[in-house]
Amino acid sequence: MTIQDLRDKGLLLFECISGSKAYGLDTPLSDTDLKGVFYLPKEQFYGLEYIPQISNETNDEVYYELGRFVELLCKNNPNLIEFLASPEECILYKHPLMEKFHIDMFLSKLCKDTFAGYALTQIRKARGYKKKVVNPMEKERKTVLDFCYIMDSYQSVPVKEWLDKNGYAQEKCGLSSISHAKGVYALFYDNENIHDYHGIAIKETANEVSLSSIPKGQEAIAYLYWNMEAYSLYCKEYREYWDWVEERNDNRYQTNLNHGKNYDSKNMMHTIRLLQVAEEILRDGKLNVRRPNREQLLNIKDGNMDYDDLLAMADKLMENIELYYSKSFLPDIPDKEKAEKALIEIREELYK
């Protein structure tokens, strides 16, 4: 089932513009994000083909089945709480039955953990972005040999350097493991090409060193150490970096390059926004989706603030959130029974 199917079959209950345009933070380059709520035909809801969520390929249009919608609201999911509190001018369609759900049914002290917790993930994203920008990775992938070293007296020598210095070919090497010495191997060399040694790595794309059958009487010419942990970490970071390069938004990336602060300024803008929203919820018991400080937040997005200053601002907001949390008159958690009662009433009306 697609989003268009929901519209064609009259299954939509709620649809609105979300994201930057709802927050009042849109610019000429901003996309239009949509969110919605739908219900399934009775047979499909009661049967084996329950669909909790439908989205488009870019995930900027996301629609939730009614039950899933209420479930996430009861968890104070930031996206869904803001969705329910959408400004009137952003609402494209609202079924009269959706009036049974009001933001006051769901706002609770739980927002401290969900909004502030989500904000902290944005900080981690911004830091991860900074790491990728400051430490770009070569496109040519390193091999097992780049993580192998020859033990020479009281130091280690990269195996590639050692091979070049001695005129050895890695393909003529044979390795034999050493008991109780993880990652350490005796290295033999077949200069006459009479032994069937497998080399240090059997091929360039190998993910581990190769062991060979060593004939009796052969003497090791060196001892090799393979740093398997470092190789595994490198492979993980290499994959993550080039996945990021492939998936990154080029306009957003160029903005971050231009401001030269080496962090993802859009993520940091949302970090501050989320913390400010959490502060307001706990202080005032209200949620204002449209932000009154557009200029400040866009200034952050444009990279006009230092990263350390933003972290200090986030720390101060967290202090305020803890203070207002202790004084808040909001319930500890949403009234799940009341929400479930409204959900059942809506389903009964839809399916009768």
Residue at which a domain ends, from 185, 209, 233 = 233
pLDDT, residue 17, reads: 97
The alpha-carbon radius of gyration of the chain (Å, integer) is 29
Please spell the DSSP secondary structure of 268-285, one letter per residue: HHHHHHHHHHHHHHHHHS
d(CA 320, CA 332): 18
Are 17 and 2 part of one and the same domain? yes
Are 58 and 205 part of one and the same domain? no
Sign of CA dihedral 258, 259, 265, 269: negative
Are 131 and 270 part of one and the same domain? yes
Beta bridge partners of residue 37, listed in sequence order: 14, 64
Angle between helices 111-134 and 250-259 (to 10 degrees): 70
Angle at 1 between CA 346 and CA 49, to 5 degrees: 65
**CATH number of the domain that residue 89 is part of:** 3.30.460
Q: What proportion of the chain, given as a percentage, has pLDDT over 70?
A: 90
Are 130 and 256 part of one and the same domain? yes
The answer to whether position 238 is within a domain reads no
Residue at which a domain ends, from 203, 233, 263 = 233
Q: With 80 as the cut, is the pLDDT of residue 127 above it? A: no
Which residues constitute the domain of residue 260? 108-136+249-330
pLDDT, residue 139, reads: 84
pLDDT digits (tens, 9 = 90+) for 208-257: 999 999 999 899 999 999 999 999 999 998 888 777 677 665 555 555 44
Are 102 and 7 part of one and the same domain? yes
The answer to whether position 161 is within a domain reads yes
- The one-character DSSP state at 156 is E
The answer to whether position 191 is within a domain reads yes
Are 15 and 89 part of one and the same domain? yes
- Predicted confidence band of residue 120 (pLDDT cuts 50, 70, 90): confident
The answer to whether position 184 is within a domain reads yes
Per-residue pLDDT, averaged over 276-305, amounts to 94
pLDDT, residue 254, reads: 54
Three-state SS string over 190-250 comes to CCCCCCCCCCCCCCCCCCCCCCCCCCCCCCCCEEEEECHHHHHHHHHHHHHHHHHHHHCCH
Are 253 and 286 part of one and the same domain? yes
- Predicted confidence band of residue 262 (pLDDT cuts 50, 70, 90): low
Residue 29 · residue 251 · CB < 8 Å: yes
As to burial, measured by CB atoms within 10 angstroms (0-12 exposed, 13-18 middle, 19+ buried), residue 273 is: buried
d(CA 169, CA 320): 64
The answer to whether position 101 is within a domain reads yes
pLDDT digits (tens, 9 = 90+) for 19-32: 999 999 999 888 89
Give the tokens for residue 18: 């979300």
pLDDT, residue 338, reads: 95
Per-residue pLDDT, averaged over 65-94, amounts to 96
Q: What proportion of the chain, given as a percentage, has pLDDT over 90?
A: 68
Q: With 80 as the cut, is the pLDDT of residue 121 above it? A: no
pLDDT, residue 171, reads: 94
Per-residue pLDDT, averaged over 101-117, amounts to 94
pLDDT, residue 297, reads: 95
The answer to whether position 255 is within a domain reads yes
Are 150 and 24 part of one and the same domain? no
Neighbouring CB atoms inside 10 A of 86's CB total 21
- Predicted confidence band of residue 267 (pLDDT cuts 50, 70, 90): confident
Q: What is the mean pLDDT of the chain?
A: 89
The answer to whether position 65 is within a domain reads yes
Nearest to 184 by CA among 230, 223, 144, 231: 223
Number of independent structural domains in the chain: 3
Residue at which a domain ends, from 176, 209, 233 = 233
Q: With 70 as the cut, is the pLDDT of residue 287 above it? A: yes
d(CA 253, CA 29): 13
